[in-house]
Amino acid sequence: MTSVRYGEFGGARVRGSFWRGWDRFDFVMVTAALLLVGAGLALIHSGSRPWYDGPLTSLSSPVVKQALFAAVGIAVMLGVSRVDYHRFLHYAWVFYGLAIVTLLALFALGSTAYGSTRWFDLGPVQVQPSEFAKLAAILCLARFFSEHGGDARDLRSLLLSMGIVAPLAGLVFLQPDLGTSVVFGGIWLGIVVIAGANRSHLLVLAAIFVAILPFAWTFAIADYQVERVAVLVDPNEDPLDSGYNVLQSQIALGSGQLFGKGYMQGDQTQLEYLKVATKDFIFSLLGEEFGFVGAMVVFGLYIVLLMRGVRAAQLAGDTAGQLVAVGITMLILMQTFINVAVNVSLFPVTGIPLPFVSQGGSSLVSLFASLGLLQSIVMRHRSYRQT
């Protein structure tokens, strides 16, 4: 086996063979993710049944497409896990620059759907740059704080870290995509809290945010987003248009009761009352067909996945690894929370996929890449602690 010397980053020197750490590969983490993907494939098959009448084995089948993206994602995860995560940190600003460029390019070359310009249409696939921009933000924040002693107590460092995330979140907000911009904020908050941000500084920033919120509501929020907030309060105000999805998701979830109506037996889904059932509202599909018990099983898998992310942060041998693990854990937590909150009418309708479950190639591949980074941290933590 060829010995690889990776050099230094943040004061840590790494030596090791290419295959070092395989015995520490976190199979529990991967198993939880694969079970979520399996649940997603089953739900996508059920949710696409009313409108897809082609053969299940065809490349045009949404189930086959998702399975292929899962296979690509798994390959990416394994490839990323074999690379020392400090290599990715070394190129963090390159990834950040690419994220900015691709998000800007969307406004000229992107494909528009449902009132938002979020994707590049590349023939058989659509690529959503914001999914990969989240990883760029995590890597840049981790590198920034590791180069500043891993300390966010200094107000200047805190504001500079906010300046890293703000351009990405702002460009995503302008697509417009409120949900994903909130995810960026959650990632930043999770990382700075672990990096030791002063509570009083965070309270002051929160107060400033609340103070400017009315101005943002008046001048920056799109009309359709204001409408979505209004129907969240009273969906019956416009039951056939802006309040339609909110009402149908409530009906689907409530009708599932304890054990659900059975696989492919959900009326709201099979009669196509529940729109985008394989994407934004896949949790409502889950609740209708498998009920409260099915939802709790899926929640259990997310808890396992999140706990393995916390474990990776605890095992990390340096500040950079710890902050990367925290950022990825916050990414999965925030996306899960927002998607479920939309489905149970606690958050305005927004296009946030349920991690590993919703139909969507960019989301699935980027999430598996995130798991690859977590695996790289777990597999190499002893090397850094022994250095």
- Whether the pLDDT of residue 14 is over 50: the answer is no
What one-character-per-residue DSSP string does 213-281 give? HHHHHHHTS-HHHHHHHHHHH-GGGSTTTTTHHHHHHHHHHHHHTTT-S-TT--HHHHTT-STTTTTTT
> Hey, CA dihedral for 368, 75, 34, 382, is it positive or negative?
negative
Q: Burial level of 17, CB count in 10 A (0-12/13-18/19+)?
A: exposed
Q: What local confidence, expressed as pLDDT, does residue 21 receive?
A: 62
Out of 25-34, 323-332, 342-351, least confident range: 342-351
Categorize the per-residue pLDDT at 6 as very low, low, confident or very high, splitting at 50, 70 and 90: very low
Computed on alpha carbons and rounded to an integer, the radius of gyration of the chain in Å comes to: 21
Categorize the per-residue pLDDT at 82 as very low, low, confident or very high, splitting at 50, 70 and 90: very high
Q: Give the tokens for residue 221.
A: 């929020």
8-state DSSP, 83: S
Average pLDDT of span 19-41:
89
Average pLDDT of span 62-80:
96
Average pLDDT of the chain is 87
Q: Which residues of 160-175 are buried (b: 16+ CB within 10 A; e: fewer)?
A: ebbebbbbbbebbbbb
Tell the residue number behind the tokens 């980053």, with chain if given.
Answer: 9
Question: pLDDT: is 112 or 306 the higher one?
Answer: 306
Identity at 111, one-letter amino acid code? S
Tell the residue number behind the tokens 């196509």, with chain if given.
Answer: 272
Ramachandran assignment for 240, one of left (phi > 0), alpha (psi -120 to 50 degrees), beta (any other): alpha
Query: At CA 130, angle to CA 110 and CA 287, rounded to 5?
Result: 105
